[in-house]
Amino acid sequence: MGKSSAKKNNKTSYQYDAIVIGTGPGGEGVAMQLAKAGKQVAVIERYDMVGGGCTHWGTIPSKALRQSASRLIEYNANPLFNDGNNNRHLSFQEMLAHASAVIRKQTNLRGGFYQRNHVTVVHGEAAFVDAHHLQVKRNDGSLDMLSAEFIIIATGSRPYTPADIDFSHPRIYNSDTILSLNHDPKSIIIYGAGVIGTEYASIFRGLGAKVDLVNMRDRLLSFLDAEISDALSYHLWNNGTVIRHNETYTSVEGRDDCVVMNLDSGKRMRADCLLFANGRTGNTDMLNLEAIGLQADSRGQIKVNEHYQTTVSNIYAVGDVIGYPSLASAAYNQGRFAAEAILNGQCDKALVEDIPTGIYTIPEISSVGKTEHELTALKIPYEVGRAQFKHLARAQIANTLVGSLKILFHRETKAVLGIHCFGERASEIVHIGQAIMQQKGEGNTIEYFINNTFNYPTMAEAYRVAALNGLNRLFD
């Protein structure tokens, strides 16, 4: 149990000013902000190491795997290193070794934050007793009771696992357990063609596995600009991925030597293993929310107001447990904003309106702002400026020729309305456009990219090329 605090509220003494449940980006954001303000803070983490799902099962490992697969593809395609007769192969286990090293570095880094800021880390599983008290079941089975004036729920989410699929079978995985894959599959079925599914389709195809990607909708990542979605579909198809649109499963058979998936259309597929990547559920079912009168929805999510405050005034929630946008970067900011609301009674800050999307397929996708479809539906007169990476000197030098940058801008005001990028380093490139979109007045026009001087040769030069292309389309 942590050391006592003299903090009082309504003549009641609590051990801590605040307790944060979860040490992912959202939990870290709120804990650090409160600790730096002089508050006595504890965090509760059910696993042995801090960092949450983002560090251990989600963002960090999947992007590390993607990096290895991408570099492998680049090596095998580069005539400087490979004459075409000596393709290098990496096993999934070899790539996991690299990912594990990154996870260790991230865990040590994040653990240091808590130590330096004198935040007490308690390992165990938390459940509410009342609005100010939590029972923590330690990993050794012992129970502790912790109390605080404020409690913040930042427990994240986990993969949705339908009851009719046997996830204990050694060939059936979700997006967390896939990191325990201990063989090198020659074929894989990926059910769910959202962000996670398409990213892993790129990874496994990069390793040379045959990939069947089952999509319940009629196009990939339909929230993206249509041209970008089509580009992804083409490159996955061109690289050998079989995409099956408008399909749902009826049953999954886990066999000793394979997995068979039966589809509602009557099709049957067989592969070495199955990755089920269809949705996520908030980690709220173990919190005993009933004890404080809170109720999560069918997806395990909790409703909050603009200050990330739940209907129980001293209980706040951030990150995946509150739903959109379910991004690590957004969760960290949500944590900071919740901390400010706790400290000051309100928070005037909010997430930016145009939150960037980064999708780590091969090639990468990133976008911010409106799509062409959205602008057309809103009857906003816009024009398009494009730059193809194959025409850029830096892309030619690096032999990363696939991809393009698209700028959408208002025909009359020339304000930048959307940035859509497909290709290597897209998730980095998009932030240049995002920074201009966030400017006020005349500072957010496409003419900035014409008047600015870019380093040469760089991928950032794509903005100048795209801006010239777009402005050349205008006429009186």
Q: How many domains does the chain have?
A: 3
Indicate whether 74 belongs to any domain: no
Q: What's the token pair of residue 102? A: 């990154």
Q: What percent of the chain has pLDDT over 90?
A: 86
Q: Is there a single domain that holds both residue 20 and residue 141?
A: yes
Residue 10: pLDDT over 60 = no
Indicate whether 372 belongs to any domain: yes
Q: What's the token pair of residue 118? A: 């004198």
Domain that holds residue 46: 8-63+94-159+281-344
Q: Is there a single domain that holds both residue 215 and residue 303?
A: no
CATH number at 465 reads 3.30.390.30
Q: Is there a single domain that holds both residue 235 and residue 184?
A: yes
Q: Is there a single domain that holds both residue 149 and residue 18?
A: yes
Check residue 4 and give its pLDDT. Answer: 36
Residue 11: pLDDT over 70 = no
Count the Cβ atoms, other than its own, within 10 Å of residue 147: 21
- DSSP class of residue 79? T
Q: Is there a single domain that holds both residue 323 and residue 376?
A: no
Indicate whether 324 belongs to any domain: yes
Nearest CA to 97 out of 75, 70, 67, 76 is that of 67
**Span 228-256, mean pLDDT?**
97
Indicate whether 34 belongs to any domain: yes
Residue 8: pLDDT over 50 = no
Last residue of a domain, one of 258, 278, 298: 278
Confidence class for position 233, pLDDT limits 50, 70, 90:
very high
List, as residue ranges, the binding site for FAD. Answer: 45-54
Indicate whether 195 belongs to any domain: yes
Indicate whether 2 belongs to any domain: no
Check residue 443 and give its pLDDT. Answer: 83
Check residue 78 and give its pLDDT. Answer: 81
Check residue 82 and give its pLDDT. Answer: 75
Q: Is there a single domain that holds both residue 40 and residue 21?
A: yes
Q: Is there a single domain that holds both residue 34 and residue 149?
A: yes
Check residue 7 and give its pLDDT. Answer: 41
Q: Is there a single domain that holds both residue 27 and residue 153?
A: yes
Check residue 371 and give its pLDDT. Answer: 97
pTM attached to this predicted model: 0.92
CATH number at 197 reads 3.50.50.60
Confidence class for position 451, pLDDT limits 50, 70, 90:
very high
Name residue 187's beta-bridge partners.
Answer: 210
Q: What's the token pair of residue 242? A: 């079989």
Indicate whether 1 belongs to any domain: no
Check residue 91 and give its pLDDT. Answer: 87
Q: Is there a single domain that holds both residue 197 and residue 302?
A: no
Indicate whether 355 belongs to any domain: no
Nearest CA to 53 out of 334, 319, 359, 324 is that of 319
Last residue of a domain, one of 278, 306, 323: 278
Q: Is there a single domain that holds both residue 122 and residue 31?
A: yes
Q: Is there a single domain that holds both residue 184 and residue 204?
A: yes
Q: The tokens 């039966």 sit on which residue?
A: 262
Mean pLDDT of the chain: 93
pLDDT tens-digit readout, 252-311 = 999 999 999 999 999 999 999 999 999 999 999 999 999 999 999 999 999 999 999 999
Check residue 440 and give its pLDDT. Answer: 81
Quick one: the chain helix, strand, coil %, rounded to 5?
Answer: 35, 25, 40
Check residue 152 and give its pLDDT. Answer: 98
**Span 417-437, mean pLDDT?**
96
Check residue 80 and give its pLDDT. Answer: 80
Check residue 107 and give its pLDDT. Answer: 93
Check residue 240 and give its pLDDT. Answer: 96
Check residue 87 and give its pLDDT. Answer: 82
List, as residue ranges, the binding site. Answer: 45-54
Confidence class for position 140, pLDDT limits 50, 70, 90:
confident
pLDDT tens-digit readout, 162-200 = 999 999 999 999 999 999 998 899 999 999 999 999 999
Confidence class for position 2, pLDDT limits 50, 70, 90:
very low
> How far apart (Å, rounded) are the C-alpha atoms in residues 466 and 239?
27
Mean pLDDT lowest among 36-50, 81-95, 100-114? 81-95
Q: Is there a single domain that holds both residue 148 and residue 29?
A: yes
Last residue of a domain, one of 344, 371, 398: 344
Q: Which helix (H) or strand (E) holds 266?
A: none
Residue 1: pLDDT over 60 = no
Check residue 75 and give its pLDDT. Answer: 87
